């Protein structure tokens, strides 16, 4: 491995074009970290280093990480943030759309981890922060495929943490609640939503609630500050759930209540149609 050129922590963050990724890259860079943020089309100006990378492409991931190692000789922190959202009824979602959702959110995370882990093992240290979601703890209506991709990150992170601890590598999971970012406007709707289906009415009502919740969510800078504290902390937890108080209560209620009762709360909040008698 190439000799270390500086003592500043080198941080790789995926998905830094906007939202949590961009806010975190900017925040860490301003505090002295050597930050490399991945973007698929590096046309904007940033106050941190950028690497052209598409997490759905094996060669792109390998080349992007090699570029960092050629410059810095190490990667101290990996923040897996890249992700997309696809919304629609599960029955109406095509297999191709499901593949697309998982290829970015789940397989993309694995591609990056598998390329960074050998570097961290050789260093004898490292920190991996995986950005999941409240949707990775609660199956959200009409975001079932998105939720599934985040649930998958939960299980993967739990197992990965156990496997890599022996090499001095730590794994942390962050499950943000609603965050006010461009994720809302960038969310893809399944192709079949343009045609009237049995779920169309319910989907429209629920999507309105989802978008309203997100628009009033925390600013992404709040998550950036939390990530800074995690990186600089000597004693880290495995799981963090930053979010508004009411969403913290939802996590608590899911653990406390029978699911039959908890599901009634979700049905009411998301205005899901109930069976007519």
Ranges of each domain in the chain: 10-246
Residues 171, 130: Cα–Cα separation, whole Å: 8
Cβ-in-10-Å burial (0-12, 13-18, 19+) of 53 comes to buried
- Tokens read off for 134: 């409240």
Q: What is the DSSP letter of 23?
A: H
Residues 85, 45: Cα–Cα separation, whole Å: 25
pLDDT for 243: 85
pLDDT for 45: 72
pLDDT for 1: 41
pLDDT for 3: 39
Q: What is the DSSP letter of 37?
A: E
pLDDT for 209: 95
Catalytic residue among 27, 36, 142, 146: 146
Residues 24, 190: Cα–Cα separation, whole Å: 30
C-alpha distances in Å from residue 54, one per residue of 21, 38, 125, 147, 274: 14, 8, 26, 22, 41
First to last CA, the chain: 68
HSE-CB at 115 with a 13 A cutoff on CA atoms is 24
pLDDT for 40: 78
Predicted TM-score (pTM) of the model is 0.93
Contacts of 52 (CB under 8 A, 6+ apart): 38, 39, 40, 41, 42, 60, 64
Among 97, 59, 66, CA closest to 1: 66
The CATH number of 10-246 is: 3.40.50.720
pLDDT for 7: 65
Strand order across the beta sheet in which 34-39 lies = 49-52, 34-39, 10-13, 77-80, 126-131, 169-174, 239-240
pLDDT for 8: 87
Q: Answer for the pair 228, 114: CB distance below 8 angstroms, yes or no.
A: no
Q: Answer for the pair 126, 82: CB distance below 8 angstroms, yes or no.
A: no
**How many other CB atoms sit within 10 Å of the CB of residue 248?**
14
Provide the strand spans (E) within the chain: 10-13, 34-39, 49-52, 77-80, 86-87, 126-131, 169-174, 188-189, 239-240
pLDDT under 50 in the chain at which residues? 1-6
Q: Answer for the pair 220, 124: CB distance below 8 angstroms, yes or no.
A: no
Among 77, 239, 229, 75, CA closest to 161: 239
pLDDT for 277: 53
pLDDT for 247: 86
Greatest Cα-to-Cα distance within the chain, rounded to the nearest angstrom: 71
Active site residue 146: yes
User: Residues of 116-137 as b/e, b for ≥16 C-beta within 10 angstroms?
Assistant: bbebbeebeebbbbbbbbbbbb
pLDDT for 20: 96
């Amino acid at each position: 491995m190439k000799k270390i050129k500086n003592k500043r922590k080198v941080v790789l963050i995926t998905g830094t074009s906007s939202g949590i990724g961009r806010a975190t890259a900017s925040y860490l860079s301003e505090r002295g970290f050597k930050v490399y943020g991945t973007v698929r089309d590096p046309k904007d100006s940033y106050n941190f280093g950028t690497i052209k990378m598409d997490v759905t492409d094996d060669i792109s991931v390998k080349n992007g990480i090699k570029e960092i190692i050629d410059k810095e000789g190490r990667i101290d922190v990996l923040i897996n943030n890249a992700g997309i959202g696809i919304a629609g009824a599960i029955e109406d979602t095509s297999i191709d759309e499901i593949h697309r959702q998982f290829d970015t959110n789940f397989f993309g995370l694995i591609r990056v981890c598998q390329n960074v882990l050998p570097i961290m093992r050789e260093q004898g240290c490292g920190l991996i922060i995986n950005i999941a979601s409240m949707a990775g703890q609660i199956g959200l209506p009409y975001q079932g495929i998105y939720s599934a991709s985040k649930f998958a990150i939960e299980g993967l992170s739990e197992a990965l943490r156990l496997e890599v601890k022996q090499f001095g590598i730590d794994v942390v999971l962050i499950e943000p609640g609603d965050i006010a970012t461009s994720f809302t406007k960038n969310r893809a709707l399944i192709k079949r939503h343009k045609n009237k289906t049995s779920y169309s009415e319910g989907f429209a009502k629920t999507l309105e609630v989802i978008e309203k919740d997100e628009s009033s969510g925390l600013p992404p800078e709040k998550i950036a500050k939390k990530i800074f504290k995690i990186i600089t902390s000597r004693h880290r937890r495995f799981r963090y759930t930053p979010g508004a108080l009411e969403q913290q209560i939802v996590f608590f209620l899911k653990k406390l209540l029978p699911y039959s009762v908890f599901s009634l709360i979700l049905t009411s909040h998301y205005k899901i149609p109930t069976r007519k008698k």
